[in-house]
Amino acid sequence: MILDILFPNRCLGCNRIIDADFLVCEICFEQIDFTHFDYFGDNFIKEKCKLLFPVEQASGLMQFKKENLSRKIIHELKYKNREKAGKVLAQWTSERLNFKDRKPDLLVSVPLHSRKQKERGYNQLHLFTEKLSEFYGIPFDHNLIKRNYYSKAQALKDKKHRLETENTFSITKAITGKHILLVDDVFTTGNTVATIAWEILKAGNNTVSVLVMAIDI
């Protein structure tokens, strides 16, 4: 309580003091570039994924543009120790995404290397995925996919190095006949989710869908 008084939570858009559980005020919320994609229809991210692997469905919550509020939210989540932002993003997702009667069987988030996770203190996708699991009643598995190599952040890599993802990930256990929803933060080239998707597809008679927090378009 004292910390809330001394260091109040402020809107990421306008710096106004807001409730501790919020990211932005009501006014700035209207400035967020939500995608409004149809999960079951054709959309930008689904078309991109189709070029890389046989995707079932795909969607993203926000647009990730230069200097926009969505980008600031993601950066706060990943690099400014705002892990709880994942909970808010999950809430926003649940208000916009309806799986109807075709829910995936399992939620799987893109893993960090153990060294990277130790440095950051958390995986920015875990709380987001866990809250989605609660909202939709879908189990999650943070350990199904293993990242084999330590590397610097995607945002710090040039495009050439982002494409170098061969053998980056591996499956840690047998899995077959499952519809897996692969969860990531930002979709850029799509190579990360494609690399993981192919590992899942090769593991058995599985299908893969994709959900991301933001799409770099």
Are residues 176 and 72 located together in one domain of the fold?
yes
The answer for residues whose C-beta is within 8 angstroms of residue 8's C-beta and 6 or more apart is: 17
Are residues 119 and 202 located together in one domain of the fold?
yes
If one counts the domains in the chain, the total is 2
Return the pLDDT at 128.
98
Are residues 53 and 138 located together in one domain of the fold?
yes
Are residues 97 and 27 located together in one domain of the fold?
no
Are residues 85 and 167 located together in one domain of the fold?
yes
Return the pLDDT at 2.
55
Are residues 4 and 109 located together in one domain of the fold?
no
Are residues 27 and 49 located together in one domain of the fold?
no
Check if the beta carbon of residue 108 is closer than 8 Å to that of residue 70. no
| Residue 91's CATH number | 3.40.50
- The Cα 112–Cα 152 span in angstroms is 11
Return the pLDDT at 149.
87
Are residues 11 and 102 located together in one domain of the fold?
no
Backbone angles phi, psi at 104, to 5 degrees: -65, 165
Are residues 108 and 181 located together in one domain of the fold?
yes
Are residues 188 and 173 located together in one domain of the fold?
yes
Are residues 184 and 210 located together in one domain of the fold?
yes
Domain span at residue 177 reads: 35-215
Are residues 41 and 77 located together in one domain of the fold?
yes
Return the pLDDT at 47.
97
Over residues 17-76, the pLDDT tens digits come to 999 999 999 999 999 999 999 999 999 999 999 999 999 999 999 999 888 999 999 999
Backbone angles phi, psi at 90, to 5 degrees: -65, -40
Return the pLDDT at 100.
92
Collect the ranges in the chain with pLDDT lower than 70.
1-6, 152-166
Return the pLDDT at 4.
56
- Give the residue carrying structure tokens 């893993």: 111
